[in-house]
Structure 1
Amino acid sequence: MATVEDERIAGDGAADPEPTRSVMHQVYTHSWFQILLISFICFCCPGMYNALTGLGGSGQVDQTVAANATVALLAATAGTALFVVGPIFNRVGPRVCLLLGGWTYPLYSGSLLCFNSTNNGAFVIASGAILGIGASFLWVAQGAIMTTYVPESQKGRAIAVFWIIFNLGGGLGSLASFGLNYHSTSGTVSDATYIALLIVMAVGWLLGVFICPPASVRVAQLQVTPEEKKTWKQTISLAVRTITNWRVLCMLPLFFSANVFYSYQQNVVNGMTFDIRTRSLNGALYWIAQMLGGLIMGLILDMPGLNRQMRARVAWLFLFATGMAIWGGGYAFQKWSDHRMSQGLKQDVDYTDSDTSVGPMFLYIFYGAYDAFWQSFCYWLMGAQSNSPAATAILVGAYKTFQSTGGAMSWRINALGKPAMTQFAMDWGLCMGSLVIGIPTVLAVTLTSDPESDPALESSDKVQE
Structure 2
Amino acid sequence: MCGAATMFARIDNFLANHSPAWYRAPSVQTATLGVVFFWVFAAYTTIQFYAASTYGPDLAADSVSAVYFCFTVTCLIAPSVTNKFGCRVTMFFGVLAYASLVLNSLIYFLYGGEDVRWSRRMVVVGGGILGCGASLLWTSQGRLILQYASKAEELRVLEEQDGVLNKSKTQTGRLMGLFWSIFQCSALVGGGVSFLYFNKKPEGSAALYCLFLAFILIGALFTQLLLPPSMLKTSGSTVSFNRTKSPSYSSLDLAERTPLYCNVDSGGQYTGEETEVSIPVVVADLSHQSWSEEARGTFYLFISKRMGCLLLLFFYTGFNQPYQQATFGNRFFTRRTIGAELIIFHLMEILGAIVIGRFLDDDKVSENYSHNKSFSKKTRARLCLGSFIVINSIGNILAAIQEYNAKHALTPTAHDILSVGVIPPSMAFACWGFADAQIQVYCYWLLGGFYSSGHDHARAVGVYKLAQSLGTSIGFFLIPVSRLGELSQLLCSTLVFVVGTGLSFQSTFFL
Same fold (TM over 0.5): yes
Q: Of residues 342, 349, 354 in structure 2, which corresponds to 1:295?
A: 354
1:164 aligns with 2:204: no
Could you list the runs of 5+ residues in structure 1 that have no partner in the other structure? 1-8, 10-15, 446-465
* CA distance in structure 2 between the partners assigned to 1:143 and 1:438 by the alignment: 20
The amino acid that maps onto 2:94 is G
Aligned residues of 1:171 and 1:286 also touching (Cα < 8 A):
no
* Deviation sequence 1:315-357 (CA, Å, 0-9, x none): 11111111221111111122234456x75x47x6442x32343
Q: Could you say which residue in structure 2 is the equivalent of 1:230?
A: 288
1:35 aligns with 2:33: no
The amino acid that maps onto 2:132 is I
Q: Of residues 370, 382, 390 in structure 1, which corresponds to 2:435?
A: 370
Is the alpha carbon distance of 1:421 and 1:142 closer, same or farther for their aligned partners in structure 2, counting shifts above 3 Å? same
TM-superposed deviation, 1:262: 1.8
TM-superposed deviation, 1:294: 1.0
The amino acid that maps onto 1:78 is T
Q: Of residues 386, 391, 398 in structure 1, which corresponds to 2:456?
A: 391
Is the alpha carbon distance of 1:90 and 1:283 closer, same or farther for their aligned partners in structure 2, counting shifts above 3 Å? same
**Any residues of structure 2 matched to 1:133-144 within 5 Å, and which?**
133-144=132-143
Q: Could you say which residue in structure 2 is the equivalent of 1:256?
A: 315
Is the alpha carbon distance of 1:333 and 1:126 closer, same or farther for their aligned partners in structure 2, counting shifts above 3 Å? farther
1:277 aligns with 2:336: yes
* CA distance in structure 2 between the partners assigned to 1:213 and 1:258 by the alignment: 29
Q: Of residues 239, 243, 247 in structure 1, which corresponds to 2:306?
A: 247
Percent pairwise identity: 22
* CA distance in structure 1 between the partners assigned to 2:59 and 2:497 by the alignment: 27
**Any residues of structure 2 matched to 1:8-87 within 5 Å, and which?**
22=17, 24=19, 26-54=21-49, 57=51, 59-60=53-54, 62-82=56-76, 84-87=77-80
Aligned residues of 1:255 and 1:399 also touching (Cα < 8 A):
yes
Q: Of residues 487, 499, 508 in structure 2, which corresponds to 1:421?
A: 487
Is the alpha carbon distance of 1:330 and 1:113 closer, same or farther for their aligned partners in structure 2, counting shifts above 3 Å? farther
Q: Of residues 381, 384, 388 in structure 2, which corresponds to 1:319?
A: 388
Is the alpha carbon distance of 1:274 and 1:112 closer, same or farther for their aligned partners in structure 2, counting shifts above 3 Å? farther
Aligned residues of 2:26 and 2:232 also touching (Cα < 8 A):
yes
What is the SS of the residue equivalent to 2:170? helix
Is the alpha carbon distance of 1:374 and 1:60 closer, same or farther for their aligned partners in structure 2, counting shifts above 3 Å? farther
* Deviation sequence 1:55-84 (CA, Å, 0-9, x none): 5x55459444323322221111111113x1
Number of residue pairs aligned between Structure 1 and Structure 2: 421
Q: Of residues 202, 215, 218 in structure 2, which corresponds to 1:203?
A: 218
1:94 aligns with 2:87: yes
1:310 aligns with 2:305: no
Could you list the runs of 5+ residues in structure 2 that have no partner in the other structure? 1-8, 154-168, 235-249, 256-265, 269-284, 365-374
1:412 aligns with 2:477: yes
Q: Which stretch shifts more, 207-216 or 149-158? A: 207-216
Aligned residues of 2:66 and 2:125 also touching (Cα < 8 A):
yes
Higher radius of gyration, 1 or 2: 2
TM-superposed deviation, 1:154: 1.3
* Deviation sequence 1:117-140 (CA, Å, 0-9, x none): 712543332222111101011100
1:149 aligns with 2:148: yes
The amino acid that maps onto 1:123 is M
* CA distance in structure 1 between the partners assigned to 2:434 and 2:232 by the alignment: 32
The amino acid that maps onto 1:318 is S
* Deviation sequence 1:333-389 (CA, Å, 0-9, x none): 22234456x75x47x6442x3234333233223222221112111111111111222
* Deviation sequence 1:287-340 (CA, Å, 0-9, x none): 222111211221221234122222111111111111221111111122234456
Relative contact order higher in (CA < 8 Å, ≥ 6 apart): 1
Q: Could you say which residue in structure 2 is the equivalent of 1:436?
A: 502
1:124 aligns with 2:123: yes
Aligned residues of 1:225 and 1:390 also touching (Cα < 8 A):
no
